[in-house]
Amino acid sequence: MKRLAILGSTGSIGQSTLSIVEQFPERYQVVSLAAGRNLDEAFAQAVRWRPKLISLATEELAGELSAKLKQAGVTGIEVVYGTQGTVACSTLPEADFVVSAIVGVAGLEATHAAILAGKPVGLANKECMVAAGEILTRAARQRNVPILPIDSEHNAVHQCLRVGAHSEVKTIWLTASGGPFRQLPLDQFAAITPEQALKHPTWVMGRRITIDSATMLNKGLEVIEACRLFDVTAAQVRVMVHPQSTVHSLVEYVDGSILAQISVTDMRLPILYALAYPERPASTLTFDLAALSHLDFEPPDFERFPCLRLAFDAAEKGGAHCIALNAADEVAVEAFLDRRIPFTGIPRTIERVLASTPEAHPATIAEVLAADREARETARALLA
């Protein structure tokens, strides 16, 4: 029996994780949940899963949840809040495995604390790896703690890497759907509206990640994530546009063999893989091979997607540049969704923030968070 701490339990990855727990009650049990701001969902999860510990974003929300649980006659669940609460969830002595699925750098401290506590982590939060990948992977190596990627591309790469040695890897190929503007003429990019950008062709996701898919900045973050997770250089990672999103990613070995991972477009599969690793439990997530009759691959157009070029540059420089890329993008995406800047203003903002970012390598989580705040302030000042 694996006892799980789920950080970001009310989000889409958190809910998918709970549906896996529901399907495999003989394998998994929930011991702590970090739920954020969705009080109703947190209450429903507390009642359904009876964790030892549940954390909410603020003291006020925690108080409301405690009152609701008491009213419902539910006892034995400790309610905590804030970053300390999330850390308490991720380091709970009873937890054997931590699913890190809080969006943004909010989950960073809890993820780091889980690794320091020696707990294997299933990582769905790519910002953690982008902003603090150097620190997290160093800590994980020192303590021999596995970090299992839940991001579909990295999960695919993890699977493909199991058949060869690290020294035999030539190139990691990350596939990208190309988003909704893969074929839009370049001169129309400035007029793209938030409504158009929020329509993703293959995946249903949160707002920021959907915009990041449209600019391909998301793929850029994944390039950085791949460098850190798999200990390869930016030159060893390449992106291939694959509109069907059927091949989740590939690994090319030095002998010329290329291995691909193919499966349904359903996040429950990478979650199950991470939870069960190194086992492979039987599941109902089957894939219809006939769907392979039509697979397209094309190299990405860096002129159309300047965010991708910026990300490769940041991946090479590492440290503060990766932090600034992520932070500046988040601020720029917000401004785009508020109609304060055009779609093409997103890469322009990031580029300007990166130009004023020093080449530095924060050594602690506190330094990472400080660099993150600084980059956000620079971006906001630029957009004001």
Binding stretches for Mg ion (CB under 5 A): 151-153
Q: Least separation, in Å, of the C-beta of 151 and Mg ion? A: 4
- Which C-beta is closer to Mg ion: that of 151 or that of 329? 151
> Three-class SS of residue 381?
helix
- Which C-beta is closer to Mg ion: that of 119 or that of 248? 248
- Which C-beta is closer to Mg ion: that of 153 or that of 329? 153
The Cα 55–Cα 79 span in angstroms is 6
The Cα 288–Cα 292 span in angstroms is 8
Task: Select the residue whose beta carbon is closest to Mg ion and give its number.
Answer: 151
Q: Least separation, in Å, of the C-beta of 331 and Mg ion? A: 21
Q: Least separation, in Å, of the C-beta of 269 and Mg ion? A: 13
The tokens for 260 are: 């691909």
Instruction: Determine how many CB atoms are found less than 10 A away from the CB of residue 188.
Output: 11
The Cα 365–Cα 378 span in angstroms is 20
The Cα 258–Cα 326 span in angstroms is 30
Q: Least separation, in Å, of the C-beta of 285 and Mg ion? A: 17
- Which C-beta is closer to Mg ion: that of 119 or that of 219? 219
How does DSSP classify residue 67? H
- Which C-beta is closer to Mg ion: that of 80 or that of 308? 308
Bridge pairing between strands 247-253 and 258-262: antiparallel
The tokens for 218 are: 């998301």
Q: Least separation, in Å, of the C-beta of 133 and Mg ion? A: 15
- Which C-beta is closer to Mg ion: that of 109 or that of 151? 151
- Which C-beta is closer to Mg ion: that of 109 or that of 225? 225
Distance of CA 148 to the CA centre of its chain: 12
Q: Least separation, in Å, of the C-beta of 147 and Mg ion? A: 16
The Cα 10–Cα 304 span in angstroms is 35
The DSSP line for 86-119 is HHHHHT-TT-SEEEE--SSGGGHHHHHHHHHTT-
Q: Least separation, in Å, of the C-beta of 248 and Mg ion? A: 8
Instruction: Determine how many CB atoms are found less than 10 A away from the CB of residue 74.
Output: 13
- Which C-beta is closer to Mg ion: that of 116 or that of 264? 264
The Cα 155–Cα 144 span in angstroms is 19
Q: Least separation, in Å, of the C-beta of 126 and Mg ion? A: 7
How does DSSP classify residue 167? G
Instruction: Determine how many CB atoms are found less than 10 A away from the CB of residue 152.
Output: 23
Q: Least separation, in Å, of the C-beta of 211 and Mg ion? A: 14
- Which C-beta is closer to Mg ion: that of 134 or that of 151? 151
Distance of CA 245 to the CA centre of its chain: 17
Per 3-state DSSP, the chain is made up of helix, strand and coil in percentages (nearest 5) of: 50, 15, 35
